[in-house]
Amino acid sequence: MIGLDISTTSFSCGPLDLHYQPIVATPTQRVVAFEALLRVFRGTGWTSARPVIAAAERAGMMPELGRHVLDQAMREFGFLSSACPGADAAISVNVSPGELDGERYVTAAERTAQRHGVPLDRMWLAVTGTSPIVDIGAVAETLEGLRELGATTCIDDFGAGWTTVERVRALPVDIVTIDRGVLKSGFAMGRDPSSRGLSSFEQVTETLYGMGVETLAEGVEDEAMHQRVVRSGCTFSQGWLHGCPRPAAIAFTRAIGAPHT
Residue 11 domain-assigned (yes or no): no
Q: Is the pLDDT of residue 63 over 80?
A: yes
Using CA atoms, how far residue 168 sits from 70, 112, 128, 241, in Å, is 23, 27, 12, 28
Domain span at residue 76 reads 16-255
In this predicted model, which residue has the larger pLDDT, 159 or 124? Answer: 124
Q: Is the pLDDT of residue 131 over 50?
A: yes
Mean pLDDT of the chain: 85
Domain count, the chain: 1
Residue 28 domain-assigned (yes or no): yes
What is the CATH number for 29?
3.20.20.450
Q: Is the pLDDT of residue 59 over 90?
A: no
Angle, vertex CA 245, rays to CA 239 and CA 180, nearest 5? 30
Residue 1 domain-assigned (yes or no): no
Residue 149 domain-assigned (yes or no): yes
Of the given ranges (29-38, 58-67, 183-192, 233-242), which has the lowest mean pLDDT?
183-192
Q: Tell me, what's the pLDDT at 39?
A: 92
Q: Tell me, what's the pLDDT at 254?
A: 65
In this predicted model, which residue has the larger pLDDT, 56 or 23? Answer: 23
pLDDT cut 90: percent of the chain above it: 55
Task: Enumerate residues 6+ apart whose C-beta is below 8 A from 13.
Answer: 5, 6, 7, 40, 52, 55
Q: Is the pLDDT of residue 130 over 70?
A: yes
Residue 20 domain-assigned (yes or no): yes
Residue 169 domain-assigned (yes or no): yes
Encode pLDDT of 6-55 as tens digits. Answer: 554 444 567 889 999 999 999 899 999 999 999 988 778 888 888 888 88
pTM: 0.88
Q: Tell me, what's the pLDDT at 260?
A: 43
In this predicted model, which residue has the larger pLDDT, 132 or 240? Answer: 240
Encode pLDDT of 139-197 as tens digits. Answer: 999 999 999 999 999 999 888 777 788 889 999 999 999 998 888 875 444 444 444 44
Residue 227 domain-assigned (yes or no): yes
Phi-psi region of 186 (alpha: psi -120 to 50; beta: other; left: phi over 0): left
Q: Tell me, what's the pLDDT at 173?
A: 96
Buried b (16+ CB within 10 A) or exposed e, 224-240: ebbebbeebebbbbbbe
Strand partners, 2: 16
Residue 70 domain-assigned (yes or no): yes
In this predicted model, which residue has the larger pLDDT, 47 or 86? Answer: 47
If you count them, how many residues does the chain have? 261
Of the given ranges (13-22, 80-89, 112-121, 149-158), which has the lowest mean pLDDT?
80-89
In this predicted model, which residue has the larger pLDDT, 181 or 125? Answer: 125
